[in-house]
Structure 1
Amino acid sequence: MDNLLAQITGRKRVVLYSPKDALHLYLTGDKSEVLDIDSPDLELYPKFVKASRYECVLEPGDLLFIPALWFHNTLALQFGVGVNVFWRHLPPDSYDKKDPYGNKDPVAASRALQSLERTLGILEELPPDYRDFYARRMVLRIQSRAYLSQIMEVAQGNLDTA
């Protein structure tokens, strides 16, 4: 959900990453596998350096709007109190009724991810070369439906460097 972070006392560093960088953040659920964002293990997470980092330090009295889907990491620079206020902007049935804080994926996204896991399990029944072929076809299908603007940006970048 959208989030307003209010720093009451103390200082806190906040690092944000755009949803457009999701492919570089090594996300598992709503968490990144990269635990040390300041010194990431680039052998394990080589794409992490491609993610654009937005950073600020909150002082007492500061408010920071964190849009839904933005990955964020906080570090207390000194003892303090911060308050988060979340609000729902999708239709009510989009949210898991057992998730008052909105940390879970929207219901439709959760169902889609579960379907993907089942589909990947089904592909395991195929020999490796067939599994690879059909997985690549699936990736292309997903890219054509969900990442059109990103594909266009990449294509433009490739044309600019040619």
Structure 2
Amino acid sequence: MAGQRLLVPRLEGVSREQFMQHLYPQRKPLVLEGIDLGACTSKWTVDYLSQAGGKKEVKIHVAAVAQMDFISKNFIYRTLPFDELVQRAAEEKHKEFFISEDEKYYLRSLGEDPRKDVADIRKQFPLLEGDIKFPKFFKEEQFFSSVFRISSPGLQLWTHYDVCLSLWFHNVISEEFGVGVNIFWKHLPSECYDKTDTYGNKDPVAASRAAQILDRALRTLAELPEEYRDFYARQMVLHIQEKAYSKNFE
């Protein structure tokens, strides 16, 4: 229901066997506590990240407001040295800024060539690699990317879904200076994914193809007078509902 929040279960001490057999098949959001993620949980302070990340230039989102909107694009892209980004992102007010003294920053790390390479913190930030341990729940060949994220206090990322996860719509609010690493694993066979997708946000190939077919069908219906177009469009909707939600979907 609108406005209703999903209560996400929090479990501690979950083994790989328990996760794969009982939790993962449910395909629902879940918080696993007590996982050994390495020294990053204690070492990654503002000062430490500034020093370890160095002056590598990173492309960032800069917004004048806390709620970033991907539809209206209420942000701009800028480039900063990593150490300066960390320092600015930890501040409430800025002496140096692009838009305003209380602007917000968001980093989503990219591959060396964003058109060809996925983000992997171990490659883009090698000095931080030793601080983090990836959970060993999935097979190595299922690994897609590990995205390093940094955000200003109060920043809210737009609502979206990830193709490499539970397709659950979600957004993220950083209540304080936020540092995180998203690790994406492939749920489907590799051939189901768009090979040009480096962000993990392109729909599966079959879903994209189906959407294109539907668009062509709707353009074809547009050739009919309005009364006929409305009649046959309703028939199509009913046909899709009947087939798509049938247990014997073929």
TM-score by length of 1: 0.51
Shift in Å, 1:100: 2.7
Partner of 1:147: 245
Partner of 1:131: 229
Partner of 1:75: 173
Aligned partner letter, 1:68: S
Alignment of 1:1-150 (within 5 A): 67-148=165-246
Which of the two has greater helix per residue?
1
Unaligned runs of 5+ in 1: 11-30, 34-62, 150-162
Moved over 2 A (4+): 2-10
Query: Cα 1:92–1:145, aligned 2, differ >3 Å: closer, same or farther?
Result: same
Q: CA RMSD in A?
A: 3.7
Q: Is the 8 A contact 1:4 1:84 kept in 2?
A: no
Q: Is the 8 A contact 1:4 1:86 kept in 2?
A: no
Distance 1:126 1:32 in 2: 35
- How many residues are matched? 99
Q: Is the 8 A contact 1:95 1:106 kept in 2?
A: yes
Query: Cα 1:140–1:32, aligned 2, differ >3 Å: closer, same or farther?
Result: farther
Partner of 2:152: none
Query: Cα 1:140–1:147, aligned 2, differ >3 Å: closer, same or farther?
Result: same
CA deviations over 1:40-74 (Å, ceiling 9, x no partner): xxxxxxxxxxxxxxxxxxxxxxx9xx843111111
Q: Which has the larger radius of gyration?
A: 2
Which of the two has greater strand per residue?
1
Q: Is the 8 A contact 1:4 1:85 kept in 2?
A: no
Distance 1:68 1:122 in 2: 34
Q: Identity of paired residues, percent?
A: 57
Distance 2:224 2:200 in 1: 38
Aligned partner letter, 2:205: V
- Structure possessing the higher relative contact order (Cα contacts under 8 Å, 6 or more residues apart): 1
Aligned partner letter, 1:102: G
Shift in Å, 1:147: 2.4
Shift in Å, 1:82: 1.2
Distance 2:226 2:232 in 1: 10
Shift in Å, 1:142: 0.5
Tell me the secondary structure at the aligned position of residue 198 of structure 2. Answer: coil
